[in-house]
Amino acid sequence: MSIENLIEDFSFLDNWEDKYKYLIELGNQLPHFDDTQKIEQWKISGCQSQVWIIPHFSSSTLSFQGDSDAIIVRGIIAVVLEIFNDKSAQEILDIDVEEIFDKMGLREHITPNRRSGMLSMVDKIKFYARQSLEEKNEHSRISS
Amino acid sequence: MFDAHIVRKDFPILNRLIDGKKNIYMDTAASAQKPLVLLEKLEKAYLEEYANVHRGSYWLSEVATENYEKARQIAAKFINAESSDSVIFTRSATEGINLVAGTYGLANLHQGDEVLLSRAEHHANLVTWQQTALKTGAKIVYFDLDDCGNFVWENFEKALSPRTKIVAVTAMSNVLGTIFPVEHICKAAHNIGAKVLIDACQFAVHKKIDVQKFDCDFLAFSGHKVYGPTGIGVLYGKYDLLKEMPPYQYGGDMIEHVSYEKTTFTLPPARFEAGTPAIVQAIGLSASLEYMMQFNFDDIEQYEAELIDYTTKRLLDISGLKILGTAKEKGGVFSFAIDGIHPQDLAFILAKEGVAIRTGHFCAQPLVNALGYNSLARASLGIYTTKEDIDDFITALQKAKNFFANEI
């Protein structure tokens, strides 16, 4: 499913019950982490629920796995992963996630004042992207 | 007779709609809503009577100084302090506790000394002492409450020792609601020569503070929880102790004489209010405290006791709901968990119903973890909370429960 499809799906749902139901459905498709994955290293701080994000770096793109102990939050993670997975570091840094959430009618979940951790999740993903970009620059500097 | 329905009218925000729904504000323990008299006071202070305090010999400065110092007297009256010289305006209760730890604590704690805390302290009264202990070599000792959250006198007494130098406890737990017997705590601590700091952040909202009756050495509370402005708090200290304490911060308004080589400091409270203070916030706070003092605290307590009973009953009617904190002596906060529903998920749904609750660890992470949770939900009462609010809150809880019953 592409992010455009998700935006379209959400725009059809005009009440919060249906939006949340759909989010939960999306979250249900995420595999649950086992205990070896639910470790401090992958935990996102500043959330009111527990959220873990694990990055995977390949030569050209980044992808992420995520989990939470709250089911609506799992749905939000599913959307966030859909937005960022299999993108290059630069693409990840350029994405305006607030705009996308706005289009889905989920903006309140990404604004900083909610402290529900969604923004910290996105910040962490962008942090990994920046890290991978810097490493690449370092490499090319050394090899040249 | 106290009537929350009439009180509500003084709080304009309670009438606004939240996304088309009634505003059911159940998070007063985090911060209270503001009465109109506070806003009027702030407006007057800024529009008609504003200048810096303690400095100019012109009319505006004189009237601002008078209002600021009158606010100190009103705060003194609110806590029944023996003198307004014992009242220091701080930025928050957190700053008040930091001030005591950073001045009295650093000057008087030594290797081997003990600071006694309850296991129910929130971060302001826990992290502060942990850090002070690291600097001084003192040790933090905790005493337990029982499983219902009751204060257990034997636990406290057993934890007191000749090495205890400071007892720092809440007067009311922000998680469990437990009311602590502060008067007895002070007496027992004084018997062994320890000083007592009372964190009255939650207590101040629900019950009458009387520092002379408590006989506490220090007491801190924040303005925004007692229907006052943010950015202002009150620290009470016995004057003899304050007089001996070194300054907390340095700057203007706290000096006696300054030369390029040396400075002597003025007496408390000014010694602890370096720089331009939160003038208008203090004046605003005085309006909120006067607002509270127009009520008889016994009436508020009686009304609240009934509302606590009612809320407890209604909550326990919900299957799978557990209240954390059912002490015999408790104030109006309800931490709870519902089987199979994460508090964060619950709060999402309640928010859509116009209901504001707090979720998470309430800045008391060790306690919430010790209760066996990472996160809890909390609803709390204010003087404007009505039975109808509770009914609407319960209806929203039921709705959330039904919503998740179909999803899980």
Please report residues of B whose CB lies closer than 8 A to that of A17.
403
The residue among B217, B216, B275, B277 whose CA lies nearest residue B242 is B217
Q: How much of chain B exceeds pLDDT 70, in percent?
A: 100
Report the Cα B276 to chain-centroid distance in Å.
Answer: 24
Q: Does B364 touch chain A (CB under 8 A)?
A: no
> Do B152 and B236 belong to one domain?
yes
Task: Residue count of chain B, please give it.
Answer: 408
CATH code assigned at B76: 3.40.640.10
CA nearest to A15 within chain B: B352
**Per-residue confidence band for B408, with pLDDT thresholds at 50, 70 and 90:** low
pTM over 0.95: no
CATH code assigned at B352: 3.90.1150.10
Give the model's pLDDT for residue B361. Answer: 84
**Weakest mean pLDDT among B54-68, B169-183, B221-235:** B54-68
CB contact under 8 A, B344 and A21: no
**Per-residue confidence band for B300, with pLDDT thresholds at 50, 70 and 90:** very high
> Do B289 and B300 belong to one domain?
no
Q: Residue B76's domain spans which residues?
A: 38-293
Distance from C-alpha of B178 to C-alpha of B120, rounded to nearest angstrom: 9
Domain count, chain B: 2
Please report residues of A whose CB lies closer than 8 A to that of B404.
71
**Per-residue confidence band for B376, with pLDDT thresholds at 50, 70 and 90:** very high
Condensed to tens digits (0 to 9), the pLDDT of residues B215-238 reads 999 999 999 999 999 999 999 999
Q: Are B179 and B329 in contact (CB under 8 A)?
A: yes
Phi, psi of B374 (to 5 degrees): -95, -25
Give the model's pLDDT for residue B284. Answer: 98
CB contact under 8 A, B352 and A16: yes
- Residue B215 backbone zone (phi > 0: left; psi -120 to 50: alpha; other: beta): left
> Do B14 and B162 belong to one domain?
no
Give the model's pLDDT for residue B362. Answer: 81
Q: Does B402 touch chain A (CB under 8 A)?
A: no
Domain end position, chosen among B235, B268, B293: B293
**Per-residue confidence band for B387, with pLDDT thresholds at 50, 70 and 90:** very high
Q: What is the mean pLDDT of residues B118-135?
A: 96
- Most B CBs within 10 A among A48, A50, A77, hence the mutation to make, goes to A48
> Do B220 and B303 belong to one domain?
no
The residue among B154, B207, B145, B156 whose CA lies nearest residue B178 is B145
Q: Which of A16, A17, A71 sits opposite B345 (nearest CB)?
A: A71
Condensed to tens digits (0 to 9), the pLDDT of residues B203-214 reads 999 999 999 999
Q: Does B347 touch chain A (CB under 8 A)?
A: yes
Find the radius of gyration of the CA atoms of chain A.
16
| Å between B176 CA and nearest CA of chain A | 19
Please report residues of A whose CB lies closer than 8 A to that of B343.
48-49, 70
- Read off the amino acid at residue B182: V
> Do B106 and B130 belong to one domain?
yes
What distances in angstroms separate CA B280 from CA B52, B53, B120, B157, B223, one per listed residue?
10, 10, 33, 43, 12
Q: Is the pLDDT of residue B92 over 60?
A: yes
Half-sphere exposure in the Cβ direction for B283 (13 Å, CA):
23
Domains, chain A: 3-143 (3.90.1010.10)
- Read off the amino acid at residue A50: Q
Please report residues of A whose CB lies closer than 8 A to that of B349.
20
What distances in angstroms separate CA A121 from CA A86, B83, B197, B365, B408, one per listed residue?
17, 51, 39, 21, 24
Q: A6, A26, A47, A129: which is the annotated catalytic residue? A: A47
Longest dimension (CA), chain B: 74
CB contact under 8 A, B407 and A24: yes
Distance from C-alpha of B199 to C-alpha of B168, rounded to nearest angstrom: 7
| Å between A131 CA and nearest CA of chain B | 30
- Read off the amino acid at residue A115: R
Give the model's pLDDT for residue A15. Answer: 86
Distance from C-alpha of B174 to C-alpha of B335, rounded to nearest angstrom: 9
> Do B156 and B130 belong to one domain?
yes
Which two tokens mark A10? 């959400």
Instruction: Establish if B339 belongs to a structural domain.
Output: yes
| Å between B23 CA and nearest CA of chain A | 17
Half-sphere exposure in the Cβ direction for A43 (13 Å, CA):
13
> Do B374 and B228 belong to one domain?
no
Which two tokens mark B224? 């925004």
Give the model's pLDDT for residue A117. Answer: 64
CB contact under 8 A, B407 and A16: no
> Do B346 and B326 belong to one domain?
yes
CA nearest to B361 within chain A: A48
Which two tokens mark A83? 């937005």
Percentage helix, strand, coil, to 5, in chain A?
60, 10, 30
Q: Does B352 touch chain A (CB under 8 A)?
A: yes
- DSSP type of residue B27: B
Preceding peptide of B343 cis, ω within 30°: no
The residue among B332, B384, B380 whose CA lies nearest residue B359 is B380
Distance from C-alpha of B116 to C-alpha of B189, rounded to nearest angstrom: 10
| Å between A48 CA and nearest CA of chain B | 5
* B84 Cβ contact partners less than 8 Å away, ≥ 6 residues apart: B69, B72, B73, B75, B76, B269
CA nearest to A49 within chain B: B344
> Do B271 and B359 belong to one domain?
no
Instruction: Establish if B26 belongs to a structural domain.
Output: yes
CB contact under 8 A, A72 and B374: no
Distance from C-alpha of B50 to C-alpha of A11, rounded to nearest angstrom: 51
Q: Does B354 touch chain A (CB under 8 A)?
A: no
Q: Which of B344, B352, B374 sits opposite A73 (nearest CB)?
A: B344
Q: B186, B201, B216, B363: which is the annotated catalytic residue? A: B363
Distance from C-alpha of B86 to C-alpha of B72, rounded to nearest angstrom: 9
Distance from C-alpha of B384 to C-alpha of B376, rounded to nearest angstrom: 24
Distance from C-alpha of B201 to C-alpha of B222, rounded to nearest angstrom: 6
Query: Known catalytic residue: A102?
Result: no
Paired with B360 in beta bridges are B376
CB contact under 8 A, A48 and B347: yes
Distance from C-alpha of B47 to C-alpha of B36, rounded to nearest angstrom: 16
| Å between A86 CA and nearest CA of chain B | 28
Which two tokens mark A86? 């299999």
> Do B14 and B43 belong to one domain?
no
CB contact under 8 A, B360 and A48: yes
Q: Are B264 and B234 in contact (CB under 8 A)?
A: no
The count of CB pairs under 8 A between chains A and B is 41
Give the model's pLDDT for residue B116. Answer: 98
Q: Does B339 touch chain A (CB under 8 A)?
A: no
Q: What is the mean pLDDT of residues B164-193?
A: 97
**DSSP H or E run through B65:** helix B59-78
The residue among B222, B269, B213, B209 whose CA lies nearest residue B241 is B269
| Å between B214 CA and nearest CA of chain A | 36
CA angle A54, A58, A62 (to 5 degrees): 50
> Do B328 and B192 belong to one domain?
no
- Most B CBs within 10 A among A68, A72, A77, hence the mutation to make, goes to A72
Domain end position, chosen among B293, B320, B353: B293
Q: Is the pLDDT of residue B96 over 80?
A: yes
The residue among B208, B246, B250, B247 whose CA lies nearest residue B226 is B208
Q: Are B185 and B54 in contact (CB under 8 A)?
A: no
Domain end position, chosen among B273, B293, B313: B293
Instruction: Establish if B56 belongs to a structural domain.
Output: yes
CA nearest to A70 within chain B: B342
> Do B240 and B321 belong to one domain?
no
Low-confidence spans in chain A with pLDDT less than 70: 1, 46-47, 109-117, 144
Condensed to tens digits (0 to 9), the pLDDT of residues A93-115 reads 999 988 888 888 887 766 555 45
Instruction: Establish if B408 belongs to a structural domain.
Output: no
Q: Is A82 helix (H, G, I), strand (E, B) or coil?
A: helix
Distance from C-alpha of B239 to C-alpha of B245, rounded to nearest angstrom: 10
